[in-house]
Amino acid sequence: MFKFAALSAIALAAGLATAAHADDTTGYYKVGYSNTDLSKSSKSFNGLTLGASFQVWKFVSLEGSFDTGVGDNTSGSGVNRTKYELDHQVAATLVASHAVSNGFEIQGRLGFMQTKITTKTPTAGASDHSVSGPSLGVGLNYFPHDSKAGVALTWDHADFSKTAGNNDIVRIAYIHKY
């Protein structure tokens, strides 16, 4: 249910922003692949990422993103087998961008992220682990021939305290300006 609500909110916000600014390039949509590494558990998760942003100042945008896992990790065997799944990851990020040459933009990223992992074992069943904290990152967008369609590469690092560890997220996505 949470995944559906988050995807609906992103689609609605992006649609409203597009309708409000049909003649200006004031944000973007993106869809792509993400890889999340959790330092404390030494687990890595592949996922689908969806996001949208809108410009709040000339070089500053507010971005919302949602990642959901498309695979899982397992460890152990038999009754000791544990399955780890990335249920979802949600982030709100303030993005400062600057065009460095034709088609290339660099980004500085500062935000807040929440990650939920589901753990399943044959003996104990399923349990959810949810952590949240501040995030910091960098990004690079490329729009060939100054088009509205391009590629985005971002890296975000979230600090979830000493008990939960850190979270590194790399995303590569198709990006479309509106």
pLDDT one-digit tens code per residue, 2-46? 555 454 445 545 554 444 444 456 789 999 999 988 777 678 889
More confidently predicted of 129 and 154 = 154
Between CA 153 and CA 162, with CA 156 as vertex, the angle to 5 degrees is: 160
Residue that has been written with the tokens 């609906």 in this structure? 8
Angle at 110 between CA 109 and CA 114, to 5 degrees: 110
Q: Which residues contact 147 (CB under 8 A, 6 or more apart)?
A: none
Q: Write the pLDDT tens digit of every residue in 81-99.
A: 788 888 889 999 999 999 8
| Alpha carbon distance 121, 148 (integer Å) | 46
Has residue 79 got a pLDDT over 80? no
* Domains of the chain (ranges, CATH numbers): 2-177 (2.40.160.20)
Question: Which amino acid is residue 33, in one-letter code?
Answer: Y
| Integer angstrom CA distances of residue 49 from 20, 39, 44, 64, 75 | 24, 20, 15, 11, 25
- Give the pTM: 0.77
